Structure 1
């Protein structure tokens, strides 16, 4: 199975790295906040027999470059557009969490290169003011060189019921190296317009995925998108959280829809 690491320059000059494997119609995966690439590589392996799967490293994460700050989704949308421009034909796009918001911003700008869209709980219900104070506290933690505390602050703000700090500490320690990307994502989210009615112009067929064990903001966000996107249907994946642990369940839903 062919596997490649490639890079493209976005509109503002930021270098965006993506990894591709498999052959067939292009399927671009846009990751969520904080999530390491391991999950998406598992997903890519399951999809690669039928698709050429491209896993994007979003700006501020991994090997991709950092852009101007404060960060905005319009820049990340341009990153996705730059990746799509490298393809010979229309692509399928799967966006997870914040990656789904990137995809939606990109398609609102130009949907001509996308033949199908799948989204796993893009957190539209958190757009605008809800996490403004959380971002301020996280910036304080980062300024004091406490990235793990920044991660804990984030999960404390969005997970219900709030887990005890002792339960979050190992996860936060493991994700501390990605905290700067989280700050950028929160800058994008807090600056985003909470009114998503303009997205009703996106008429690409869309699959909305929700986890059966997800947090309330995930369910609320999918409901908002179902009411907004003109050609969308929702599937709930039993046993999955906002960060799904079973790549096979997600891959099966994508294969069925994109087929």
Structure 2
């Protein structure tokens, strides 16, 4: 993997595939660069150079105690600079929140594609102390409990689904990513209702969501599209239950760039 050096010295790992205009994919909670491979391949086939990232505290990237949303925005800016200096950014879930946040802070982003960003706009907000409790669980060596707590309180998954995940092979790879739940919970709490700076970005903004997805994500996408001047809302039928369809998503990007 290639590496970019963020403003605080943290090394951020990324991979590249394809040729053409650069698209940086920013994944959501628990995602690694490799989780974007199918989408990256579809975008590469559509004529793009695609960059996938291990966000800080994940995979091959480094981490620093006390990292902030500002640090993660700097990470994205550093990757874009390392990949050529300007990029289209496609963020999914909390990665979409981060992409919009980084754009508002001046990251060299050409255009934004935001896939089902989990803005809550003051509705059903997680407890304010969630990031602190997640950090305490990680510090106490209870990373598995941090993962479960984030799934229950941060994401809002039903307890039976969380228990099913915990008892499956899916759970083991999530545990090493527990520290990143602190960062996701902090970011989404800090800008749960996006401030004026985020709603007034000058880049073209396309907001994507599936027809069949969680109601809170439908509400978030639709409201965000109505509050960002000139934003386009695109409903992607092929994307189901918070899983962006690679080919359909690549088609949306290709048609708008």
Q: Could you state the TM-score of these two structures normalised by the residue count of structure 2?
A: 0.85
Deviation at residue 217 of structure 1 after TM alignment? 2.6
Give the 3-state SS of the residue equivalent to 1:208 in structure 2: strand
**Equivalent pairs, count:** 252
Matched, 1:200 2:212: no
Q: State the match for 1:116 in structure 2.
A: 111
Alpha-carbon distance in structure 2 between the residues aligned to 1:182 and 1:102: 14
Matched, 1:81 2:77: yes
Q: State the match for 1:65 in structure 2.
A: 62
Cα deviation, 1:16-54, whole Å, max 9, x if unaligned, reads: 111111111111111111023333011111111301101
Deviation at residue 160 of structure 1 after TM alignment? 5.6
Cα deviation, 1:201-251, whole Å, max 9, x if unaligned, reads: 212111111132322332222123212221211122236345416322322
1:220–1:52 distance in 2 versus 1, CA, 3 Å: same
1:235–1:131 distance in 2 versus 1, CA, 3 Å: farther
Q: State the match for 2:239 in structure 1.
A: 240
Give the 3-state SS of the residue equivalent to 2:160 in structure 1: coil
Counterpart mapping for 1:1-259 below 5 A: 5-49=1-45, 50-69=47-66, 71-88=67-84, 90-110=86-106, 113-125=108-120, 130-157=126-153, 158-159=155-156, 161-169=158-166, 170=168, 171-192=170-191, 194-238=193-237, 240-241=239-240, 243-244=242-243, 246-258=245-257
Deviation at residue 124 of structure 1 after TM alignment? 2.0
Deviation at residue 177 of structure 1 after TM alignment? 1.8
Deviation at residue 86 of structure 1 after TM alignment? 2.7
Gaps of 5+ in 1: none
Alpha-carbon distance in structure 2 between the residues aligned to 1:87 and 1:142: 33
Give the 3-state SS of the residue equivalent to 1:124 in structure 2: coil
Give the 3-state SS of the residue equivalent to 1:132 in structure 2: coil
**Is residue 29–residue 181 contact of structure 2 (8 Å, CA) maintained in 1?**
yes
**Is residue 23–residue 50 contact of structure 2 (8 Å, CA) maintained in 1?**
yes
Deviation at residue 165 of structure 1 after TM alignment? 4.4
Cα deviation, 1:150-208, whole Å, max 9, x if unaligned, reads: 22222222336553443231243341121111122213333446342222321211111
Pairwise CA RMSD of aligned residues?
2.6
Give the 3-state SS of the residue equivalent to 2:255 in structure 1: helix
Alpha-carbon distance in structure 1 between the residues aligned to 2:254 and 2:4: 27
Gaps of 5+ in 2: none
